[in-house]
């Protein structure tokens, strides 16, 4: 057991991330809350740094993503097929709306609404969520897709469905990540992330 330096709650050691000389002082929940708040507060700096980092390291980053996509092509195709058959009705409705121009004119609003519909089934939309903050994060994602060749997605930091806990569809639980990290929860890091998170202000 270990006591978190932030929330002061004594929790099992598995609730703390490891670091070289032992465990992090803050529990995972507090560390995630800090990262999410840090993102919202410094999002312009973080996005600008991420875009600059990408441009500077484009060759290596693109090569790493191509290699990853090639190595996981079959897995991804199977995932897409299963996803399509599970969500056929909704995908067709979306395509019809897209044809009518609604989604293409308001892509970030539409993406935010889609996430809200998914979360509604899991009762994960708290009344205190800020819809404007959520839409802003989807706009950030669209920005990153515009300035880089790597597809970015909005990720629930604590997943809506996971083994032990369920995340909420709320601005503090959302962040923009390259597609690769969103699909494999084991890999939470991408080039430049550490550097961006550690940079002052
Ligand atoms: Zn804590």
pLDDT in tens, 180-191: 644 444 434 443
- Residues, CB-to-ion distance under 5 Å, ligand 1: 4, 6-7, 27, 30
Which pLDDT value is given to residue 102? 64
Residue 158 is assigned to a structural domain of this protein: yes
Residue 120 lies in a domain: yes
Give me the percent of the chain exceeding a pLDDT of 70: 84
Question: What are the Cα distances from residue 138, in Å, to 1, 18, 132?
Answer: 38, 31, 10
Residue with tokens 């999410």: 36
* Cα–Cα distance measured from residue 174 to residue 172, given in angstroms and rounded to the nearest whole number: 6
Does position 5 have pLDDT exceeding 90, yes or no?
yes
pLDDT confidence of residue 153 = 87
Q: Note whether residue 87 is domain-resident.
A: no
The structure's pTM equals: 0.57
Counted domains in the chain: 1
- Output the CA 43–ligand 1 centroid distance in Å: 23
**Spacing, Cα 137 to ligand 1 middle (Å):** 25
Beta strands 18-19; 22-23: pairing state: antiparallel
Q: Determine the structural domain holding residue 121 and report its residue range.
A: 34-57+108-198
Give 170 Cα–ligand 1 centroid separation in angstroms.
19
Handedness of CA 100, 102, 108, 110 (dihedral sign): negative
Name residue 156's beta-bridge partners. 174
Mean pLDDT across the stretch 91-95? Answer: 75
- 11: pLDDT strictly greater than 90: yes
What is the per-residue pLDDT for 194? 38
Q: Is residue 101 part of a domain?
A: no
Token pair belonging to 35: 């990262």
């Amino acid at each position: 057991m270990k006591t978190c330096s932030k929330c002061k709650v004594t929790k099992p050691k598995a609730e703390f991330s490891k670091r070289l000389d032992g465990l992090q002082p803050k529990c995972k929940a507090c560390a995630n809350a800090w990262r999410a708040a840090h993102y919202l507060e410094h999002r312009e700096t973080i996005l600008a740094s991420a875009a600059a980092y990408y441009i500077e390291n484009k060759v290596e980053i693109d090569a790493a993503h191509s290699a990853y996509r090639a190595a996981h092509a079959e897995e991804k195709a199977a995932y897409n097929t299963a996803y399509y058959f599970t969500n056929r009705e909704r995908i067709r409705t979306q395509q019809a709306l897209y044809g009518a121009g609604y989604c293409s004119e308001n892509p970030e609003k539409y993406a935010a609404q889609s996430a809200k519909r998914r979360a509604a089934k899991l009762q994960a939309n708290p009344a205190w969520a800020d819809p404007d903050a959520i839409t802003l994060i989807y706009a950030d994602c669209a920005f990153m897709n515009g300035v880089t060749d790597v597809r970015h997605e909005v990720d629930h930091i604590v997943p809506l469905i996971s083994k032990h806990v369920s995340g909420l569809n709320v601005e503090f639980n959302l962040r923009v990540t390259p597609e690769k990290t969103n699909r494999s929860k084991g890999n939470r890091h991408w080039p430049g992330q550490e550097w961006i998170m550690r940079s002052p202000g």
